[in-house]
Structure 1
Amino acid sequence: MQKRTGWMIALVAALAVALVLTLLWIIGSRQTEASPPEQAATAIPTQTPTPTPSETPTGFPANTSVYDVAVLPEANVYAVNAALPVDDAPDAPTSGQHATAQGEGAPVWADPTAEPVAYLPIEFVHGGTTVPVIERQEHWVRVLLSGRQAIPSQGNPAQITGWLRVADVVITESAVSVEVSLSERTVDIVRDGVPERIATDFAWGTEATPTPIGRSFVMKTAVVPEFGYTRGHPIVYLAVQSPTLDGFAGGDVAVTAFHYHDARAGAISNGCIRLDPAAIDALAQVPVGTPVYIRP
């Protein structure tokens, strides 16, 4: 009996040892399945994000050539330069910036991939040297200019444009413009997008000598005592000229302007806009280069 009891105890002990070993093997197997080898974890390469390339600036390529502006025709109110293009978007907004030449003057291009066809002077007695930017690129700005592509009897006398290199000019911000509606008989000075109505009636051009439509800019403001009809009020000259007159009063130009006149109602002028004293005095305060929009 004792012999049998001892055998049973030994058998139970052996089974217990076998059970423990089995449990240890199962636990070890499960840990191996749940945790990949350390080498496998470090073998996965770290993905470095590919940087997004910066946007390539659009526009014409840079031009660093040196030009002698003395051999180029000047872009001024008297100039008639067939190489300079007429403004192809007369209703479009400007960039809100002005450009003024540096150094001896800024070469002007009709096509930035070709050669310059004129130059913008730093100073000119009749102004027109601070010009509004109508398109801005990295290396170039397109601007409105004084002068004409042709006189009316020979071609298109409308507002002209040209390209300047950014490196040749000083660019300044401007938040002022002038809006004229011929049909509504209104003139507004717009500052930072806020219009100020300065006129609700005025005189404009006749059918034979119409006021030019579209965008231009203030070329010069001056008091001209010999023009008695102004009664001592300033004249605000625009860069655009008459669409029908080659010249005026014996001169070679037919510049459009805002000015005072005793007769200032209806289609009676040679293209100028005749205003009352308060309106012309207000317009005389806007800086040269200010864009002016004349709407039908």
Structure 2
Amino acid sequence: MSRRLHPAAVVAVLAVGAMAAAGFWALAPLRDLASVREAAPVASVADVEPAAASTADPSTDAAPAPHPRNDTVYDISTLPLIDVRSVNPAIPVDDDPTGTLTSSQARPLGAGAPVFADPAGEPVGYLPREHHYGGTTVPVVVAETDWVKVLLPGRQGVPPEGNGGQTVGWLRAADVELSITAEFVEVHLAANTIDIVSAAGRERVSEQFAWGKESTPTPTGRTFVMWTTIVPEFRYTDGHPMVYLGVQSPVMAGFDGGDVAVTAFHYYRMREGATSFGCIYLDGPATDRLAQLPEGTPVMILP
């Protein structure tokens, strides 16, 4: 588990309308990452059964009806900020943590975009377009003509009483710009492997790293690269970047006196077995390679 986010850092497209008109056909890459994972030698986590194999009633197999469009104008200044430090009980925790990873990302237009727990309800917060600690380019996990469901920074609750798992929310398609990412990260804790996966294949980044001990486990499921930075004060990183993820500890309220317990990839001299506070300890080359990935890159952490 990383130490608190560095205080000094505080100082420091695609046309949505065209995609909506096309019924988000451009989000066909939503299936690319799952297809890549399915074709790869490592076990898939999001295999899709062939349509021909289904014998269920077509009416029960049909995709859910899309949520209706919402053109209400909201004043985001009246809404709670959604960021790494936010704790918002109205924000859902991911209900499908090993579900689909997509190759689509969303980033708010303007100053920010209202976030909905349910498209049928009222906004429960807003995601800014810019933030010192990142988390503003987020992976799309479900796409509709007028809505996208995304992974978010921040927490619903604070452990041990609250649920600190990966959060999700809905954004209106009209409020965001969409882009495509070509790769994602797949971490297998038991196999001790980390791969960067793309249509070109798998790039093995690491075959030896440390992960969370039993009392402070590394959270599993889908998340994303939230923010990457070098923190000279963190001498244990030996000058290598911290690659912060969107998910936080399932058991810790904070770490090292801070008010967050963000999971991160980072360098550490001892990097073998279940020995960390939840972060993934890597050697220098592996850390530096992961630091090259842009914010919003999907990450799947498997047990």
Q: Which amino acid counterpart does residue 195 of structure 1 have in structure 2?
A: R
Q: Does the CA contact (< 8 Å) of 1:201 and 1:265 recur in 2?
A: yes
| Structure with greater contact order relative to length (CA < 8 Å, sep ≥ 6) | 2
For the pair 1:221 / 2:228, whether they are aligned, the reply is yes
Q: Does the CA contact (< 8 Å) of 1:57 and 1:138 recur in 2?
A: no
Q: Which amino acid counterpart does residue 126 of structure 2 have in structure 1?
A: Y
- Return 5+ residue gaps in structure 2 as ranges: 1-62
**Runs of at least 4 residues off by over 4 Å:** none
Q: Which amino acid counterpart does residue 254 of structure 1 have in structure 2?
A: A
Q: Which amino acid counterpart does residue 176 of structure 1 have in structure 2?
A: E
For the pair 1:79 / 2:86, whether they are aligned, the reply is yes
Aligned mate of 2:243, from 236, 245, 251: 236
Specify the alignment match of 1:203 in structure 2: 210
Q: Count matched residues.
A: 242
**TM-score, structure 2 as length reference:** 0.78
Q: Does the CA contact (< 8 Å) of 1:175 and 1:193 recur in 2?
A: no
- Return 5+ residue gaps in structure 1 as ranges: 1-55
Deviation per CA, 1:157-196: give whole Å up to 9, x if none.
1100000000000000112100000000000011226111
Specify the alignment match of 1:284 in structure 2: 291
Q: Does the CA contact (< 8 Å) of 2:212 and 2:274 recur in 1?
A: yes
- Computed over aligned residues only, the root mean square deviation of the Cα atoms, in angstroms, reads 1.4
Give the share of equivalent positions with the same residue, in percent.
Answer: 56
State the alpha-carbon separation in 1 of the partners of residues 176 and 101 from structure 2: 17
**TM-score, structure 1 as length reference:** 0.80
State the alpha-carbon separation in 2 of the partners of residues 116 and 158 from structure 1: 20
Aligned mate of 1:120, from 102, 121, 127: 127
2:150 alignment partner, SS class: strand
Q: Which amino acid counterpart does residue 122 of structure 1 have in structure 2?
A: R
Aligned mate of 1:144, from 140, 151, 154: 151
State the alpha-carbon separation in 2 of the partners of residues 254 and 192 from structure 1: 33
Question: How far has the Cα of 1:95 moved from its partner?
Answer: 2.5
Q: Does the CA contact (< 8 Å) of 2:111 and 2:130 recur in 1?
A: no
State the alpha-carbon separation in 2 of the partners of residues 236 and 134 from structure 1: 21
Q: Does the CA contact (< 8 Å) of 1:132 and 1:144 recur in 2?
A: yes
Deviation per CA, 1:86-128: give whole Å up to 9, x if none.
1011111222100000012100000111100000001111110
Specify the alignment match of 1:106 in structure 2: 113
State the alpha-carbon separation in 2 of the partners of residues 139 and 95 from structure 1: 17
